[in-house]
């Protein structure tokens, strides 16, 4: 196998991997780097379970090539907590019962974090449209939206 | 005597009867006697039959006793999601 | 002595509170391991070759080129899966569905599989397999399949349940019938009779996690499997049988499950992964793509249903009939039967009859989907109920209250009801502010009721008391929606220790006796009851140990507030011994302390719900927006109310998707046209409002805490509630689900659609 050598920064750490030119970033994260927090729900960019932040932008890692990560900065769910301290979104997802099976949860947390970074005080509608790229089949989104509202409030210090 | 009400799919196995009377103290005896008298019911019993006794549905507890002179209902063993 | 599991009205300290779930941290940090997250040394990639044809004979499969490709370690066809089913038609259908034998029955039916060193090699190998098909005529529509000239799927299936036995094979696998009274007479007594025909399209459970497993079988016949499933014991039993293995030699560990909703109660590619692993003598990881999930793992039935209801002007229903045709895919099912049983279960009817037909079609094998078959029947029945109420000039809630089943009612499917919640949910709906909120132009309100049986089943639970006074609860039922939290609550309640001191795990198949699956809304009911009994058994041991420590008779010790206490003054005066103190002394009082329970949990409580829904329909596009949604459901007892609400909301959201958007679309060629989340559109966050919930608690007399089970009923009323709301908004009765924009436009412009 002739592969592409990629040097990239993931959750603040510089890492190297070699992958075929047509391999997705999702597969590289999961199969080469052991970062299985990003999930493959569809492989076509429709479900958002593989969401990561690439240079500050929310992307479906199943639609990005591993080779495209060269020299970029990637944030994944594995880097969201600060040591023992959970991100407010992580903590409030648990306390608001905003997850049932949990397969979509990493993607939702990444998407919600990105949303609140861009818009710290979103309306309910802005939250709903901001998270419309992430599918959840268990919760009906009710408790997810409430958890994001609570996190936004807490993070604004309101 | 237990009055056993059958559902549609069992009627053909009982010769078209809606209900049959059986002397049985528990579900195991009930199935044994039904099988002996109506061999056509065996495949249904093998596939799974639930028994409703006084409003409670039993799927697997064959030792469940049946009070005398009770009207009971046989039902298909249901699947769930 | 039979176990006493009856409801006692016990007062709770912990049950009913909302503690944090034990798997929360793992799930918000990405650490939770799902089906596709496992790795084994030397693992291969498994891939499945699937039929592009809806119906064809397999004349020959040539795998020789694929086998020669470098990096390919095993190739299998049905020849590698000999028939060990021993005349069990149900198991043979499962075998044939996992891998086609003489014929393929649907687009996506597996015909061969490979294991290779990487995904790329596996893909190339699939392309090198040559399958010689003889294409046969196919049928995918439920109504077309029962026409006299329809292509017949199986020439050895004759309609069961009709006399005399038919002489010609048929796509109607079975006829079934339920009911009582004299419906002809009942219709004669009616002032108004309404009869309508309805259709619903096929939908998928739509779990976000595709089927995935990691199989590892050695030449000594021993194996292990890591798999996403709703029932690892059932997967083990079925896989072992299909592979000719001893059950004891196949150890199955359940991964975290990324949604199932019934779809993971059936085995699909797992036997193929095991067979590949056995042939290659290497671990094989097999993960389905989303397209494979849609094409080849079980959706629910598409249906066609006739409903006829007659009523007097005073609002009394005099007779009701339904004829239900449910597609079950290419294999025998019980889906119409369940539709027939549930269709009129909400009502107290003198004369009622429902007839179900299981219809075989060239679509994937139907699997259970949350309260399987009930939503479609409820859609048809509740639509006609609404029409009749309107004709009579009665409020739809009042009309339903007048005819609602109650304690002592003989249900339409046979049994007489005990205490039930349909009346109370309707009363709660009547008094809910949602019913009185004003509506604007193009908006409509609808409501509907729903029923599901719930059931119990075989269950086995162990509680081990640790030396430090904490407890581990090992259950054999998969946690699909937070049940580890509920089990911990119940164990802590009984033992009298803090919730945080209990750890609940899902044990693998070698650690506990057989458990039925997490289906039928049974987990909190069955495993919960087993946990309560196991805890009480552990308490018996704890009291025995305390008696030893005090040197008094065992029956002189009682358990209160997490402590052993002398039963009375005659027993002696000792300060209470805490669970922690007894546990610490266990080594010298007889060794480890544990409580177990193995039983069949019978006596599940039937469940009812009433939903209210407001919609706005855009008359130009036909698009429907859900404005407000309220779920009212009887839980029996809500152990962890947050996760009960979650079940109510999740079921409603799935029902909303089914009602408005989701459907399998087949082309004339018999191929599925939309096997992806882009074209099979499940609801997203911006499609929905907050979903209000009302939890009623009418205790199930057969559970010590009164639990009924809550998982499934919430998907039953939405199709009907939304159809009633849309019909009220557009002024035309909607009879075809999903009510997609084109269907609504057609209805507005040209009558019924």
| CA neighbor of C231 nearest in space, from C262, C210, C203, C209 | C262
Contact C677 A136 (CB under 8 A): no
Non-local (6+) Cβ contacts of C490 within 8 A are C15, C528, C531, C532, C535, C639, C705
Q: Do chains A and C have 3 or more beta-carbon pairs under 8 angstroms?
A: yes
The tens digit of pLDDT for each residue in C269-294 reads 999 999 999 999 999 999 999 999 99
Contact C290 A41 (CB under 8 A): yes
Comparing CB atoms, the residue among C21, C480, C687 nearest residue A94 is C21
Q: Is C655 helix (H, G, I), strand (E, B) or coil?
A: helix
C-alpha separations of C284 from C213, C218, C287 in Å: 8, 12, 10
Comparing CB atoms, the residue among A77, A86, A142 nearest residue C690 is A142
Res C47: pLDDT: 98
What's the CA gap between C566 and C550, in Å, rounded? 9
Contact C337 B11 (CB under 8 A): no
User: Which residues of chain B from 17 to 46 reach within 8 Å of chain C, CB to CB?
Assistant: none
In chain B, which residues have their Cβ closer than 8 Å to the Cβ of C414?
5, 7, 52, 73-75
The mean per-residue pLDDT over the stretch C676-699 comes to 98
Comparing CB atoms, the residue among B12, B56, B74 nearest residue C163 is B12
Whole-model pTM over 0.90: yes
Residues C236, C105 share a domain: yes
| Number of residues in chain B | 81
User: Which residues of chain A from 105 to 144 reach within 8 Å of chain C, CB to CB?
Assistant: 105-106, 109, 125, 127-129, 131-144
- For C619, the token pair is 């008359």
The tens digit of pLDDT for each residue in C508-523 reads 999 999 999 999 999 9
In chain B, which residues have their Cβ closer than 8 Å to the Cβ of C372?
79-81
How close, in Å, is residue C417 to chain A by CA atoms? 31
* CA count, 13 A, side-chain hemisphere, C430: 14
Res C1: pLDDT: 39
What's the CA gap between A52 and A65, in Å, rounded? 13
Of chain C, the end-to-end C-alpha distance in Å amounts to 59
| CA neighbor of C682 nearest in space, from C738, C629, C628, C720 | C738
CA of A40: which chain C residue's CA is closest?
A: C209
In chain C, which residues have their Cβ closer than 8 Å to the Cβ of B60?
457-458, 600, 602
What's the CA gap between C328 and C343, in Å, rounded? 18
Please check whether residue C492 is in contact with residue C499, taking contact to mean a CB–CB distance below 8 angstroms. Answer: yes
Please check whether residue C747 is in contact with residue C753, taking contact to mean a CB–CB distance below 8 angstroms. Answer: yes
- Partnered with residue C71 across adjacent β-strands are none
What is the DSSP pairing of strand C192-200 with strand C303-311?
antiparallel
What is the DSSP pairing of strand C502-506 with strand C192-200?
unpaired
Binning pLDDT at 50, 70 and 90, where does residue B25 land? very high
What's the CA gap between C339 and C450, in Å, rounded? 12
The string over C356-382, giving b where at least 16 C-beta atoms fall within 10 Å of a residue's C-beta and e elsewhere, is bbbbbbbbbbbbbbbbbbbbbbbbbbb
Using a 10 angstrom Cβ sphere, with 0-12 exposed, 13-18 middle and 19 or more buried, the burial of residue A127 is buried
Residue C408 has pLDDT above 70, yes or no: yes
Comparing CB atoms, the residue among A39, A46, A145 nearest residue C209 is A39
Flag whether C13 is in a domain. Answer: no
Res C75: pLDDT: 98
Output the DSSP codes for C500-532. GGEEEEE--TTTS-----S-TT-IIIIIHHHHH
What's the CA gap between C225 and A2, in Å, rounded? 32
Residue C752 has pLDDT above 60, yes or no: no
Res B54: pLDDT: 80
Of chain A, the end-to-end C-alpha distance in Å amounts to 54
Please check whether residue C210 is in contact with residue A43, taking contact to mean a CB–CB distance below 8 angstroms. Answer: no
What's the CA gap between C142 and C469, in Å, rounded? 59
**Boundary (domain end) residue, out of A79, A101, A123:** A79
Could you count the other beta carbons within 10 Å of the beta carbon of residue C134?
A: 10
- Partnered with residue C325 across adjacent β-strands are C304, C357
How many helices (H) does chain A have, and how many strands (E)? 5, 5
The mean per-residue pLDDT over the stretch C340-353 comes to 98
Residues C637, C742 share a domain: yes
Residue C751 has pLDDT above 60, yes or no: no
- Test the C interface: residue of A37, A49, A82, A101 with most C CBs within 10 Å: A101
The tens digit of pLDDT for each residue in C615-626 reads 999 999 999 999
Domain segments of chain B: what residues? 2-76
Non-local (6+) Cβ contacts of C118 within 8 A are A1, C45, C71
C-alpha separations of C348 from C386, C417, C430 in Å: 16, 10, 19
Contact B56 C418 (CB under 8 A): yes
| Number of residues in chain C | 753
Please check whether residue C18 is in contact with residue A97, taking contact to mean a CB–CB distance below 8 angstroms. Answer: yes
- Test the C interface: residue of A96, A142, A145, A146 with most C CBs within 10 Å: A142
Chain C within 8 Å of A49 (Cβ-Cβ)?
Answer: yes
Residue C12 has pLDDT above 60, yes or no: yes
Residues A37, A100 share a domain: no
Using a 10 angstrom Cβ sphere, with 0-12 exposed, 13-18 middle and 19 or more buried, the burial of residue C666 is buried
Residues C632, C543 share a domain: no
Work out whether the CA dihedral C745, C747, C748, C751 comes out positive or negative: positive
Q: Which of C156-170, C650-664, C687-701 has the lowest mean pLDDT?
A: C156-170
Preceding amide of C738 cis, omega within 30 = yes
Residues C353, C226 share a domain: no
| CA neighbor of C141 nearest in space, from C324, C301, C371 | C301
Q: Interface partners of C (3+ CB pairs, < 8 Å)?
A: A, B
Contact A39 C677 (CB under 8 A): no
Contact C677 A41 (CB under 8 A): yes
Q: What is the CATH number of the domain that holds A24?
A: 3.10.20.30
The mean per-residue pLDDT over the stretch C484-500 comes to 97
Which residue has tokens 């004003």?
A: C438
Comparing CB atoms, the residue among C162, C457, C712 nearest residue B12 is C162
Which residue has tokens 């495949």?
A: B43
| CA neighbor of C256 nearest in space, from C206, C215, C208, C295 | C208
Residues A73, A8 share a domain: yes
Flag whether C481 is in a domain. Answer: yes
In chain C, which residues have their Cβ closer than 8 Å to the Cβ of A18?
none
Q: Which of C358-362, C390-394, C568-572 has the lowest mean pLDDT?
A: C568-572
Comparing CB atoms, the residue among C261, C414, C455 nearest residue B59 is C455
Please check whether residue C242 is in contact with residue C81, taking contact to mean a CB–CB distance below 8 angstroms. Answer: yes
Whole-number CA gyration radius for chain B: 12
Q: What is the CATH number of the domain that holds C239?
A: 3.90.1170.50
User: Which residues of chain C from 688 to 747 reach within 8 Å of chain A, CB to CB?
Assistant: 688, 690-691
The mean per-residue pLDDT over the stretch C459-474 comes to 98
Task: Supply the range of the domain harboring residue A68.
Answer: 4-79
Displacement of CA C606 from its chain's centroid (Å): 15
Of chain B, the end-to-end C-alpha distance in Å amounts to 36
Contact A101 C210 (CB under 8 A): no
φ and ψ at A129, to 5 degrees?
Answer: -75, -35
Res C235: pLDDT: 98
Q: Do chains B and C have 3 or more beta-carbon pairs under 8 angstroms?
A: yes
Please check whether residue C442 is in contact with residue C507, taking contact to mean a CB–CB distance below 8 angstroms. Answer: no
Residues C513, C564 share a domain: yes
Flag whether C652 is in a domain. Answer: yes
Using a 10 angstrom Cβ sphere, with 0-12 exposed, 13-18 middle and 19 or more buried, the burial of residue C326 is buried
Give how many domains chain C has, as a whole number: 3
In chain A, which residues have their Cβ closer than 8 Å to the Cβ of C37?
30, 36
How close, in Å, is residue C263 to chain A by CA atoms? 13
CA of C6: which chain B residue's CA is closest?
A: B56
Residues C583, C491 share a domain: yes
Beta strands in C392-518 (DSSP E): 443-452, 457-465, 471-475, 502-506
What's the CA gap between A1 and C299, in Å, rounded? 39
Contact C372 B58 (CB under 8 A): no
HEC per residue, C400-417? HHHHECCCCCECCCCCEC
Residues C97, C244 share a domain: yes
Q: What is the CATH number of the domain that holds A96?
A: 1.10.150.120
- For C409, the token pair is 């009612």
Residue C679 has pLDDT above 80, yes or no: yes
Residues C253, C230 share a domain: yes
Using a 10 angstrom Cβ sphere, with 0-12 exposed, 13-18 middle and 19 or more buried, the burial of residue B69 is exposed
Residues A69, A21 share a domain: yes
Comparing CB atoms, the residue among A30, A44, A103 nearest residue C258 is A103
Comparing CB atoms, the residue among B60, B73, B78 nearest residue C600 is B60
Chain C within 8 Å of A19 (Cβ-Cβ)?
Answer: no
Q: What is the mean pLDDT of chain C?
A: 96
Query: Mean pLDDT, 10 residues at a time, over chain A (158 residues)?
Result: 91 97 97 97 98 98 98 98 97 98 98 98 98 98 98 92
What's the CA gap between C662 and C48, in Å, rounded? 26
Class of domain B2-76 (CATH, top level): alpha beta
Please check whether residue A134 is in contact with residue A51, taking contact to mean a CB–CB distance below 8 angstroms. Answer: yes
Res C394: pLDDT: 98
Contact B8 C177 (CB under 8 A): yes
Residues A62, A34 share a domain: yes
In chain C, which residues have their Cβ closer than 8 Å to the Cβ of A62?
none
- Test the B interface: residue of C514, C517, C603 with most B CBs within 10 Å: C603
| CA neighbor of C561 nearest in space, from C580, C589, C584, C583 | C580
The tens digit of pLDDT for each residue in C121-140 reads 999 999 999 999 999 999 99
Contact A86 C25 (CB under 8 A): yes
- For A150, the token pair is 């609570």
The tens digit of pLDDT for each residue in C19-60 reads 999 999 999 999 999 999 999 999 999 999 999 999 999 999
Residue C2 has pLDDT above 60, yes or no: no
| CA neighbor of C231 nearest in space, from C245, C200, C252 | C252
Task: Supply the range of the domain harboring residue C517.
Answer: 24-32+456-601
Preceding amide of C672 cis, omega within 30 = no
- Where would I find the H helices in C12-149? 24-29, 64-68, 89-98, 119-128, 142-145
Please give the torsion angle defined by the CA atoms of residues C536, C538, C543 and C546, in that order, rounded to the nearest 10 degrees.
-160
Flag whether C407 is in a domain. Answer: yes
Residues C442, C460 share a domain: no
The tens digit of pLDDT for each residue in C252-270 reads 999 999 999 999 999 999 9
In chain A, which residues have their Cβ closer than 8 Å to the Cβ of C257?
101
Res C165: pLDDT: 87
- Partnered with residue A60 across adjacent β-strands are A51
Residues C490, C344 share a domain: no
Give how many domains chain A has, as a whole number: 2
**Boundary (domain end) residue, out of C601, C620, C646:** C601
Contact B57 C453 (CB under 8 A): yes
What's the CA gap between C124 and C117, in Å, rounded? 12
Contact C265 B79 (CB under 8 A): yes
The string over A7-22, giving b where at least 16 C-beta atoms fall within 10 Å of a residue's C-beta and e elsewhere, is ebebeeeebebebbee
**Boundary (domain end) residue, out of A12, A46, A79:** A79
Residues A124, A95 share a domain: yes
What's the CA gap between A102 and A106, in Å, rounded? 8
């Amino acid at each position: 196998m002739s592969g592409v050598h990629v040097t990239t920064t993931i959750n603040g750490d510089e890492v190297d991997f070699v992958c075929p030119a047509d391999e997705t970033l999702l597969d590289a994260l999961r199969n080469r780097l052991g970062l299985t927090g990003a999930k493959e729900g569809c492989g076509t960019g429709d479900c958002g379970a593989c969401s990561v932040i690439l240079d500050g932008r929310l992307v479906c890692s199943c639609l990005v090539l591993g080779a495209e990560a060269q020299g970029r900065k990637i944030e994944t769910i594995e880097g969201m907590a600060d040591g023992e301290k959970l991100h407010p979104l992580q903590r409030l997802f648990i306390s608001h019962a905003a997850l049932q099976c949990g397969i979509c949860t990493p993607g939702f947390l990444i998407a919600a974090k990105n949303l609140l970074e861009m818009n710290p005080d979103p309306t309910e509608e802005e939250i709903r449209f901001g998270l419309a790229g992430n599918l959840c089949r268990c919760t009906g989104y009710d408790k997810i939206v409430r958890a994001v509202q609570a996190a936004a409030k807490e993070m604004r210090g309101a | 005597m237990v009055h056993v009400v059958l559902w549609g799919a069992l009627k053909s196995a009982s010769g078209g009867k809606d209900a049959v009377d059986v002397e049985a103290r528990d579900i195991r005896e009930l199935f044994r006697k039904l099988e002996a008298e109506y061999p056509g019911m065996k495949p249904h019993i093998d596939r799974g039959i639930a028994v409703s006794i006084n409003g409670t549905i039993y799927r697997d507890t064959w030792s469940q006793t049946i009070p005398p002179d009770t009207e009971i209902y046989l039902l298909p063993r249901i699947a769930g999601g | 002595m039979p176990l006493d599991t009856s409801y006692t009205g016990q007062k709770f300290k912990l049950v009913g509170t909302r503690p944090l779930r034990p798997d929360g941290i793992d799930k918000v940090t990405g650490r939770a391991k799902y089906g596709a997250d496992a790795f084994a040394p030397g693992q291969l990639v498994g891939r499945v070759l699937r039929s592009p044809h809806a119906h064809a004979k397999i004349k020959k499969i040539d795998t020789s080129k694929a086998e020669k490709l470098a990096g390919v370690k095993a190739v299998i066809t049905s020849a590698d899966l000999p028939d060990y089913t021993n005349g069990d038609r149900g198991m043979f259908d499962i075998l044939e569905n996992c891998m086609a034998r003489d014929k393929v029955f649907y687009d996506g039916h597996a015909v061969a599989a490979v294991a290779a060193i990487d995904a790329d090699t596996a893909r190339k190998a699939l392309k090198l397999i040559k399958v010689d098909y003889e294409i046969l005529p196919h049928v995918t529509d439920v109504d077309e399949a029962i026409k006299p000239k329809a292509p017949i799927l199986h020439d050895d299936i004759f309609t069961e349940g009709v006399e005399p036995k038919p002489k010609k094979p048929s796509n109607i696998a079975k006829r079934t019938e339920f009911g009582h009274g004299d419906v002809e007479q009942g219709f004669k007594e009616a002032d108004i009779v309404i009869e309508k025909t309805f259709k619903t399209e096929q939908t998928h459970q739509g779990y976000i996690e595709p089927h995935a497993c990691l199989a590892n079988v050695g030449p000594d016949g021993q194996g292990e499997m890591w798999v996403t499933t709703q029932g690892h014991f059932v997967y083990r039993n079925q896989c072992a049988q299909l592979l000719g293995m001893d059950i004891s030699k196949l150890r199955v560990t359940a991964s975290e499950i990324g949604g199932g909703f019934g779809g993971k109660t059936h085995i699909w590619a797992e036997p193929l992964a095991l067979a590949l692993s056995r042939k290659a003598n290497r671990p094989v990881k097999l993960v389905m793509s989303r397209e494979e999930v849609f094409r080849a793992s079980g959706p629910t039935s598409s249906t066609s249903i006739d409903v006829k209801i007659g009523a007097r002007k005073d609002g009394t229903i005099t007779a009701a009939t339904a004829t239900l045709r449910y597609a079950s895919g290419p294999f025998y099912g019980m889906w119409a039967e369940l539709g027939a049983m549930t269709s009129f279960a909400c009502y107290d009817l003198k004369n009622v009859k429902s007839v179900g037909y299981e219809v075989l079609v060239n679509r994937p094998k139907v699997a259970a989907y949350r309260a399987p078959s009930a939503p479609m029947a409820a859609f048809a029945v509740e639509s006609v109920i609404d029409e009749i109420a309107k004709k009579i000039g009665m409020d739809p809630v009042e009309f339903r209250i007048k005819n609602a089943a109650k304690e002592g009612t003989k249900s339409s499917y046979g049994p007489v009801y005990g205490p039930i919640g349909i009346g109370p949910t309707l009363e709660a709906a009547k008094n809910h502010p949602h019913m009185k909120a004003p509506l604007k132009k193009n908006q409509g309100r609808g409501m509907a009721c729903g029923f599901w049986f719930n059931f119990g089943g075989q269950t086995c639970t162990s509680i081990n008391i640790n030396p430090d006074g904490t407890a581990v609860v090992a259950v054999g039922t998969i946690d699909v929606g937070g049940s580890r939290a509920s089990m911990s609550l119940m164990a802590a309640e009984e033992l009298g220790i803090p919730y945080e001191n209990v750890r609940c795990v899902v044990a693998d198949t070698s650690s506990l006796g057989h458990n039925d699956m997490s289906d039928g809304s049974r987990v909190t009911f069955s495993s919960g009851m087993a946990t309560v009994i196991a805890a009480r058994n552990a308490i018996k041991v704890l009291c025995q140990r305390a008696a030893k420590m005090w040197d008094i008779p065992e029956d002189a010790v009682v358990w209160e507030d997490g402590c052993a206490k002398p039963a009375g003054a005659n027993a002696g005066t000792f300060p209470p011994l805490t669970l922690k103190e007894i546990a610490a002394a266990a080594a010298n009082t007889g060794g480890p302390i544990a409580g177990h329970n193995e039983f069949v949990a019978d006596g599940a409580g039937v469940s009812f719900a009433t939903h209210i829904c407001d919609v706005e329909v855009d008359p130009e596009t036909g698009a429907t927006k859900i404005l407000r949604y309220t779920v009212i459901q009887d839980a029996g007892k809500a152990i962890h109310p947050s996760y009960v609400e979650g079940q109510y909301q999740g079921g409603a959201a799935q029902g909303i998707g089914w009602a408005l958007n989701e459907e399998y679309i087949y082309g004339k060629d018999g191929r599925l046209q939309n096997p992806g989340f882009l074209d099979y559109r499940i609801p997203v966050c911006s499609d929905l409002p907050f979903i209000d919930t009302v939890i009623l608690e009418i205790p199930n007399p057969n559970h010590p805490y009164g639990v009924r089970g809550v998982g499934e009923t919430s998907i039953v009323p939405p199709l009907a509630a939304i159809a009633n709301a849309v019909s009220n908004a557009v002024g035309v009765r909607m009879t075809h689900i999903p009510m997609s924009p084109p269907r609504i436009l057609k209805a507005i412009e040209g009558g019924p659609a």
